[in-house]
C-alpha cells in the first residue's frame, strides 16, 4: 500500500550551507555520524532548538530524537540550563584556575554516584578524553599494558579504542556497512595490538580471555548498556563475568558517557547494580556544553597528577560555563526524579507503537528499549532477540535508510544510523508520541 506522494522536505539553506561546509571542513561536518553517510541525503543545519524540537536553517521544525546524542535529557534549551550558563557568563568564560563551580559539580557527581564507589572525579572536555584518561590511569595503577573492549562498543576516538568500534565507524567503515568495523586508518598496528577484542554478552569468551591473559590486562572497558551498535542490553551472566575480571587484578571500567544520568540518576551502574572500579561520563554531565569526566574510589583516582604519577591535563577542563550547564542539569534531574518514570513510559509506548506499526505493514522489525534509549533494528527478531553485535549487524541498513528518510520528510528526526540509539527527553509528550507513530505508520507503509 503506498501513500500519496509526499512533498520532499526542501531545505535550500541547509543544502547551500552543506556545500560551503564541505569546502572548509572534512565531509562538511565536525563529527562523521552527522553526515548522513549511511542514510543518504544531506544533514539539516540547525538554527535553534526548544524542548523536543529543532528548527533548521530553512525554518522547518523537526521533532528531535537525537538530543545532541544524549545531553538533552531535559529537552533542548531548558530555562534552568540557559539561565545558569547566562549567569556564569557574567563572570567571564574561562579562568585557567580553579573555580567554585568545578567543586559544586564534582560534589554533585560524587553525591549521586557514591553507591557505585565514586569518591573522586576529574573533569575533562569530552567522552573521548574521559575514556582515554581512565585507561591510562588503569595502566598506571596496574603496570599492565593490554586492555579489553567489546566488538561494536564505541568509547570515543582515542587511538587504542578505534579497534572494531561502533557508532560512526559503522556508518563510514571501509567495506560493507555493519561488518566488524576495522580499526581507523592512522592507528598503528602496534597500538591496536594492545587492545584485545571480545564479544559483548558472551561471558564464556570473556572468561576464557581472562583465564588466558588476565595477568597482562590492565582494564576491561564496556558500555553497561550498549548504544553504539544500536541498543544492546547486557545479560546478568555477562555482567557477572565482567565483575569476575577483577579476580585477575584487572580494573573494570564502565563507560557511562551515554548511559550516565540517562538510565537513572545513578546511570546504568546504579540501575543494574554494577560496582566498576572506574566510571567515565560525558554528554548529560555537561548539559550540552563540552564536559567529560572519570571517577572512582580515592585510592585509584589519587594516582592521577598532580597527586600521583599518571599525567592528565586540559586547558578548559572545569570550564565555568560548562560546569554551570552540567550542574543545572543534574540538579534539575535530582529535583524531579519523576522525569525518569516519564521517560520510561514514553519510550516503552514508542517501542510498542513501532512494533505494531511495522507488523501492520509487514515490515520485519526488532525493537530494543531500556529507559529512554531505543533502537528499531530492521530485521525479524532472532531467537532470544538481538543481544550481540553480530546479530545487530545483520539488520537491513537499506530498509532503515528508507524509513529514516521517510520519517525525516515528515519532520521526525531519528538518529541517522541503524547502529545508534535514539534519546527521548522529558520534553517529549503525548503529542510527540502520536506524531511519531503516525509518521512511522506512513513510513513503514512505503517500505
Ligand atoms: P565524545 O568524545 O563524542 O564526547 O564521547 C565519546 C563516547 C564515549 N563513550 C560512549 C559510550 C559514547 O557513546 C561516546 C560518543 N557517542 C557518540 C554517539 N554514538 C557521539 C556522537 C558523535 O560521534 O558525533
- Can you read off the three cell numbers belonging to residue 166? 561502533
What kind and span of H or E run contains 237?
Answer: helix 236-244
Looking at residue 163, its pLDDT comes to 87
User: What would the pLDDT profile of 43-64 be if each residue is shown by its tens digit?
Assistant: 999 999 999 999 999 999 999 9
Closest ligand 1 atom to Cα of 31? 24
Is residue 144 helix, strand or coil? coil
- Can you read off the three cell numbers belonging to residue 103? 567543586
Q: Is ligand 1 within 6 A of the CB of residue 128?
A: yes
* Beta strand pairing call for 61-64 and 217-222: unpaired
Q: Is ligand 1 within 6 A of the CB of residue 416?
A: no
pLDDT mean across residues, the chain: 94
Q: Is ligand 1 within 6 A of the CB of residue 126?
A: yes
Residue 346 a catalytic site member: no
Contact partners, residue 156, CB within 8 Å, separation at least 6: 126, 127, 128, 129, 130, 131, 132, 257
Q: Is ligand 1 within 6 A of the CB of residue 227?
A: yes
Looking at residue 176, its pLDDT comes to 40
Q: Is ligand 1 within 6 A of the CB of residue 33?
A: yes
- Can you read off the three cell numbers belonging to residue 181? 568495523
Question: 288 — alpha (psi -120 to 50), left (phi > 0) or beta?
Answer: left
Determine if the peptide bond prior to 165 is cis (ω within 30°).
Answer: no
**In whole angstroms, what separates CA 254 from the centre of its chain?**
13
Looking at residue 165, its pLDDT comes to 85
Q: Answer for the pair 188, 160: CB distance below 8 angstroms, yes or no.
A: no
- Can you read off the three cell numbers belonging to residue 31? 563529527
Closest ligand 1 atom to Cα of 256? 11
What kind and span of H or E run contains 435?
Answer: helix 430-446
Q: Is residue 112 predicted with pLDDT exceeding 50? A: yes
Residue closest by Cα to atom 5 of ligand 1: 127
Residue closest by Cα to atom 24 of ligand 1: 31
Q: Is residue 9 predicted with pLDDT exceeding 80? A: no
Which comes out higher in pLDDT, residue 106 or 176? 106
Q: How far apart are CA 49 and CA 33, in angstroms?
A: 20
Which comes out higher in pLDDT, residue 172 or 162? 162
Closest ligand 1 atom to Cα of 127? 5
Q: Is residue 402 predicted with pLDDT exceeding 50? A: yes
Q: How far apart are CA 129 and CA 30, in angstroms?
A: 17
Q: Is ligand 1 within 6 A of the CB of residue 255?
A: yes
Q: Is residue 381 predicted with pLDDT exceeding 50? A: yes
Ligand 1 centroid to 167 CA: how many Å?
Answer: 8
C-alpha pair distances (Å), 316 with each of 188, 292, 323, 342: 29, 11, 11, 35
Strand boundaries in 1-83, DSSP class E = 46-50, 53-56, 61-64
Q: Is ligand 1 within 6 A of the CB of residue 223?
A: yes
Q: Is residue 180 predicted with pLDDT exceeding 60? A: no
Domains of the chain: 13-77+337-446 (3.90.1150.10), 79-335 (3.40.640.10)
- Can you read off the three cell numbers belonging to residue 63? 521533532
Q: How far apart are CA 360 and CA 375, in angstroms?
A: 19
Q: List the single range of 177-186, 291-300, 414-423 with lowest mean pLDDT.
A: 177-186
Q: Is residue 186 predicted with pLDDT exceeding 80? A: yes
Q: Answer for the pair 234, 225: CB distance below 8 angstroms, yes or no.
A: yes
Q: Is ligand 1 within 6 A of the CB of residue 166?
A: no
Got the DSSP string for 324-380?
HHHHHHHHHHHH-THHHHHHHHHHHHHHHHHHHHHHHHT---EEEEETTEEEEESSP
Residue closest by Cα to atom 21 of ligand 1: 69
User: What would the pLDDT profile of 237-296 be if each residue is shown by its tens digit?
Assistant: 999 999 999 999 999 999 999 999 999 999 999 999 999 999 999 999 999 999 999 999
Q: Work out whether the CA dihedral 351, 76, 72, 65 comes out positive or negative.
A: positive
Q: How far apart are CA 442 and CA 363, in angstroms?
A: 12
Looking at residue 172, its pLDDT comes to 67
* Beta strand pairing call for 373-377 and 366-370: antiparallel
Residue 283 a catalytic site member: yes
Q: What angle do CA 292, 108, 314 make, to 5 degrees?
A: 30
Ligand 1 centroid to 228 CA: how many Å?
Answer: 8
Q: Is residue 415 predicted with pLDDT exceeding 60? A: yes
Length of the chain equals 447
Check residue 166 and report its DSSP letter: -
CB atoms within 10 A of CB 384: 9
User: What would the pLDDT profile of 122-147 be if each residue is shown by its tens digit?
Assistant: 999 999 999 999 999 999 999 999 99
User: What would the pLDDT profile of 293-305 be if each residue is shown by its tens digit?
Assistant: 999 999 999 999 9
Is residue 315 helix, strand or coil? coil
Contact partners, residue 82, CB within 8 Å, separation at least 6: none
Residue 8 a catalytic site member: no
Ligand 1 centroid to 156 CA: how many Å?
Answer: 5
Closest ligand 1 atom to Cα of 292? 4
Mean pLDDT to the nearest integer, 317-326: 98
Mean pLDDT to the nearest integer, 182-195: 86
For the chain, give the percent of residues with pLDDT over 70: 95
Q: Answer for the pair 248, 215: CB distance below 8 angstroms, yes or no.
A: yes
Ligand 1 centroid to 69 CA: how many Å?
Answer: 8
Question: 5 — alpha (psi -120 to 50), left (phi > 0) or beta?
Answer: beta
Q: What pLDDT band is residue 383 in, cutting at 50, 70 and 90?
A: very high
Amino acid at each position: 500500500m503506498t501513500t500519496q506522494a509526499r512533498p520532499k522536505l526542501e531545505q535550500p539553506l541547509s543544502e547551500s550551507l552543506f556545500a560551503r561546509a564541505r569546502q572548509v571542513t572534512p565531509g562538511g561536518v565536525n563529527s562523521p555520524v552527522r553526515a548522513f553517510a549511511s542514510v543518504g541525503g544531506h544533514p539539516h543545519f540547525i538554527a535553534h532548538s526548544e524542548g523536543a524540537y529543532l528548527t533548521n536553517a530553512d525554518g522547518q521544525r523537526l521533532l528531535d530524537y537525537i538530543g545532541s546524542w544524549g545531553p538533552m535529557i531535559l529537552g533542548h534549551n531548558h530555562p534552568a540550563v540557559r539561565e545558569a550558563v547566562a549567569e556564569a557568563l557574567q563572570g567571564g568564560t574561562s579562568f585557567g584556575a580553579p573555580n567554585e563551580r568545578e567543586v559544586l559539580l564534582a560534589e554533585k557527581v560524587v553525591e549521586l554516584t557514591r553507591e557505585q564507589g565514586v569518591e573522586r572525579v576529574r573533569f575533562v572536555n569530552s567522552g573521548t578524553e574521559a575514556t582515554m584518561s581512565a585507561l591510562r590511569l588503569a595502566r598506571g595503577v596496574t603496570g599492565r599494558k593490554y586492555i579489553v573492549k567489546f566488538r561494536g562498543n564505541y568509547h570515543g576516538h582515542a587511538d587504542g579504542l578505534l579497534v572494531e568500534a561502533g557508532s560512526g565507524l559503522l556508518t563510514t567503515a571501509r567495506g560493507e556497512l555493519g561488518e566488524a568495523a576495522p580499526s581507523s586508518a592512522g592507528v598503528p598496528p602496534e597500538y591496536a595490538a594492545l587492545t584485545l577484542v571480545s564479544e559483548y554478552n558472551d561471558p564464556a569468551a570473556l572468561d576464557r580471555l581472562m583465564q588466558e591473559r588476565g595477568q597482562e590486562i590492565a582494564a576491561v572497558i564496556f558500555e553497561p548498556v550498549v548504544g553504539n551498535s544500536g541498543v544492546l542490553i547486557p545479560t546478568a551472566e555477562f555482567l557477572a563475568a565482567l565483575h569476575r575480571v577483577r579476580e585477575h587484578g584487572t580494573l573494570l571500567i564502565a563507560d557511562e558517557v551515554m548511559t550516565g544520568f540517562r538510565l537513572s540518576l545513578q546511570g546504568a551502574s546504579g540501575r543494574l547494580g554494577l560496582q566498576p572500579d572506574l566510571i567515565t561520563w560525558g554528554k548529560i554531565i555537561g548539559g550540552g556544553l563540552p564536559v567529560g569526566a572519570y571517577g572512582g574510589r580515592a585510592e585509584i583516582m589519587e594516582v592521577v597528577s598532580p597527586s600521583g604519577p599518571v599525567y592528565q591535563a586540559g586547558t578548559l577542563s572545569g570550564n565555568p560555563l560548562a560546569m554551570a550547564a552540567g550542574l543545572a542539569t543534574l540538579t534539575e534531574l535530582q529535583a524531579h526524579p519523576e522525569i525518569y518514570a516519564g521517560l520510561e513510559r514514553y519510550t516503552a509506548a514508542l517501542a510498542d507503537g513501532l512494533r505494531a506499526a511495522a507488523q501492520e505493514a509487514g515490515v520485519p522489525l526488532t525493537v530494543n528499549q531500556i529507559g529512554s534509549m531505543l533502537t528499531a533494528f530492521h530485521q525479524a527478531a532472532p531467537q532470544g532477540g538481538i543481544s550481540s553485535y553480530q546479530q545487530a549487524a545483520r539488520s537491513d541498513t537499506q530498509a532503515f535508510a528508507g524509513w529514516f528518510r521517510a520519517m525525516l520528510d515528515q519532520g521526525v528526526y531519528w538518529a541517522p544510523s541503524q547502529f545508534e540509539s535514539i534519546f527521548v527527553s522529558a520534553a517529549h509528550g503525548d503529542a510527540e508520541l502520536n506524531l511519531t507513530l503516525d509518521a512511522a505508520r506512513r513510513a513503514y507503509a512505503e517500505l
